[in-house]
């Protein structure tokens, strides 16, 4: 009889249990991505909360929403990546490419460039 919970059996119905060290490493990576998403959330909230002289409320809100949306996407991507890595380990297949990394890099670049432009234009 399978000793795994009903949820575990429904999410990961096939494959073999991986070494617990790899599963725990996968969880730590998920938590790191989650911390990154929370940092974006905090950054977006901070950007919206503080008035910036010479910056309209509309632009400030738009930038804040963009930063928060990036955080939301990272949180969703972290969950998908965790599941895909866990499935790959259970099926002894190559690990998936972390597609979230290029997105995060581009989003951070865009957010930084927008903030630099806004500072320079003040």
User: For the segment 22-59, what is each residue's pLDDT rounded down to a tens digit?
Assistant: 999 999 999 999 999 999 999 999 989 988 777 788 98
User: For the segment 102-113, what is each residue's pLDDT rounded down to a tens digit?
Assistant: 988 998 898 888
- In SS3 terms, 18-49 reads as CCHHHHHHHHHHHHHHHHHHHHHHHHHHHHHH
CA-CA distance, 68 to 74, in Å (whole number)?
10
User: For the segment 57-89, what is each residue's pLDDT rounded down to a tens digit?
Assistant: 898 899 899 999 999 999 999 999 999 999 999
CA-CA distance, 110 to 17, in Å (whole number)?
41
Confidence tier at 96 by pLDDT (50, 70, 90): very high
Q: Please tell me what DSSP assigns to residue 50.
A: S
pLDDT value of residue 36? 93
pLDDT value of residue 93? 94
Query: Model-level pTM?
Result: 0.80
Kindly give the interhelix angle for 100-120 and 57-90, rounded to the nearest 10 degrees: 160
């Amino acid at each position: 009889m399978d000793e795994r919970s009903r949820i575990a059996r429904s999410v990961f119905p096939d494959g073999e249990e991986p070494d617990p060290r790899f599963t725990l490493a996968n969880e730590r990576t998920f938590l790191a991505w989650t911390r990154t998403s929370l940092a974006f959330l905090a950054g977006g909230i901070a950007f919206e909360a503080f008035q910036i002289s010479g910056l309209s409320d509309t632009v400030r809100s738009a930038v804040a929403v963009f930063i928060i949306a990036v955080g939301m996407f990272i949180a969703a991507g972290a969950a998908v990546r965790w599941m895909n890595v866990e499935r790959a380990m259970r099926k002894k297949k190559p690990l998936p490419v972390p597609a979230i990394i290029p997105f995060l890099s581009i989003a951070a670049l865009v957010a930084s460039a927008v903030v630099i432009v806004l500072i320079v234009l003040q």
